[in-house]
Homo-oligomer: A and B are copies of this chain.
Amino acid sequence: MSAPVFLGVIGVGGVGTAFLHQLAPHPPRPLHSNPPLPDPAYSPSIPAAEWKTASATPSLTKSGALSAEEIANYLSSAPGRSILVDNTSDPALAASYPVFLRKGISIVTPNKKGFSSDLSLWKDIFASAAQGNALVYHESTVGAGLPVISTLRDLVATGDEVTRIEGVFSGTLSFLFNTFAPVGGACAGRKWSEVVAEAKELGYTEPDPRDDLNGMDVARKLTILARIAGLEVQAPDAFPVESLIPEELRGLDGSAEGVKTFMQRLGEFDGQMTEIKESAEKEGKVVRYVGSVDVEKKEVRVGLQRFDKDSAIAGLKGSDNIISFYTKRYGSNPLIVQGAGAGGDVTAMGVSADLIKVVQRLQ
């Protein structure tokens, strides 16, 4: 159980940096192999002694970038099993997972792109893993470090019938609605545009808040869960996704100027959101942005829904996620997982825990 395993780590953003810190108690050892590895001039690796500075000098990884094929060749030349940890959100790298997997290189990643794009890529990834006898772990693609993917896979693998999955899957949208329409204070009078602006200030949204408000991040997570539960979802736009971007503002471009104009004009539409909130309030409910998979009806939906004030979803705090699994074995009361579903540290924790499991299986 002590064969060396070789790691390739790509990405030194928020998650990548936190991941490297979590790896710190287990510093990599420099590799002296026989036969020698390819010429260092060709090598995309950061010298082991310099790994700690890598997060401070991202140019180290970006300079002289090689193609996925070249990186895969490099990793597969290691004298043992190797693992690619992809801490980016790069769709191009995700699209080349099959190249790595077919060469026997396992994948550990929080990058949603590979699992939530076209169904053909999903199928290619898992077929390539089987072909290359390699592993794919991606816990942090849904709910960050929360045990969501692993729990769903355990339910499916042990023969339970998952009938429905429902929850709040975006920390940003959780914060926005918990603040805009709190259970105890719907009359607090906060305007939607003010809450969005505050969340942007606090760094709770993407640099362009429209990337949260369009619902596509949630749609990608639901695509992943639905596929694990057995539904052949073609793409994250193949089912109804309610966008919170007012129709009138959808024409704005993605430039810094576009973001600015969007934030300036969002207030013009506060009345629409207030109406949605007050209409729920009249029923004694609150509105939340949720995703759901109905496995039996083969329906996936993402958008606003009303919830009783004493429900678990209504009672969510801060920017927490909540995910409920309804299954045959668990009956009317679902299996629920709840907690922070975003942030560098907890996302990296999911990656680190996956890495430990993959290393244990490869050794």
Q: Which residues of A contact B (CB under 8 A)?
A: 1, 22, 25, 133, 145-147, 150-151, 154-155, 157-160, 183, 310, 312, 315, 317-318, 320, 329-340, 345-346, 349, 352-353, 356, 360-361
One of B158, B312, B335, B338 near A315 (C-beta < 8 A)? B312
Show 17 A/B contacts (Cβ-Cβ < 8 Å), sorted by A: A1-B133, A22-B158, A22-B159, A146-B335, A147-B154, A150-B150, A157-B352, A157-B353, A157-B356, A160-B349, A310-B315, A318-B333, A320-B333, A336-B336, A337-B337, A337-B338, A338-B338
Give the interface centre of A146, A338, A352 by most chain B CB atoms within 10 Å: A338
Do B333 and A336 touch across chains, with their CB atoms under 8 A apart?
no
Residues of B within 8 A of A320 (CB): 333
Do B329 and A333 touch across chains, with their CB atoms under 8 A apart?
no
Q: Which 7 A-B pairs have the closest CB atoms?
A: A335-B339, A154-B353, A336-B338, A158-B352, A147-B147, A329-B345, A158-B349
Give 17 A-B pairs besides A157-B356, A337-B338, A338-B338 with Cβ atoms closer than 8 angstroms.
A145-B329, A147-B154, A147-B337, A155-B349, A157-B352, A158-B349, A158-B352, A158-B356, A160-B349, A310-B315, A312-B312, A320-B333, A329-B345, A329-B346, A335-B337, A335-B338, A337-B337
Known: A160-B349, A349-B154. A336 touches B335 (CB 8 A): no
Minimum CB–CB distance for A117 against chain B, Å: 27
Residues of B within 8 A of A349 (CB): 154-155, 158, 160, 329
Residues of B within 8 A of A145 (CB): 154, 329, 335
Query: What is the chain B residue whose CB lies nearest that of A319?
Result: B333
Query: What is the chain B residue whose CB lies nearest that of A133?
Result: B1
Minimum CB–CB distance for A168 against chain B, Å: 13
Residues of B within 8 A of A22 (CB): 158-159
> A133 vs B360: C-alpha distance in the bound complex, in angstroms?
12
Question: How many copies of this chain?
Answer: 2
One of B133, B157, B339, B345 near A336 (C-beta < 8 A)? B339
> A318 vs B158: C-alpha distance in the bound complex, in angstroms?
24
Residues of B within 8 A of A133 (CB): 1
Do B333 and A346 touch across chains, with their CB atoms under 8 A apart?
no
Minimum CB–CB distance for A174 against chain B, Å: 11
One of B159, B183, B361 near A25 (C-beta < 8 A)? B159
> A114 vs B183: C-alpha distance in the bound complex, in angstroms?
45
Do A340 and B333 touch across chains, with their CB atoms under 8 A apart?
yes
Residues of B within 8 A of A310 (CB): 183, 310, 315
Residues of B within 8 A of A154 (CB): 145, 147, 349, 353, 356
Query: What is the chain B residue whose CB lies nearest that of A151?
Result: B147
Minimum CB–CB distance for A104 against chain B, Å: 11
Query: What is the chain B residue whose CB lies nearest that of A343?
Result: B329
Do A339 and B346 touch across chains, with their CB atoms under 8 A apart?
no
> A173 vs B139: C-alpha distance in the bound complex, in angstroms?
33
Residues of B within 8 A of A183 (CB): 310
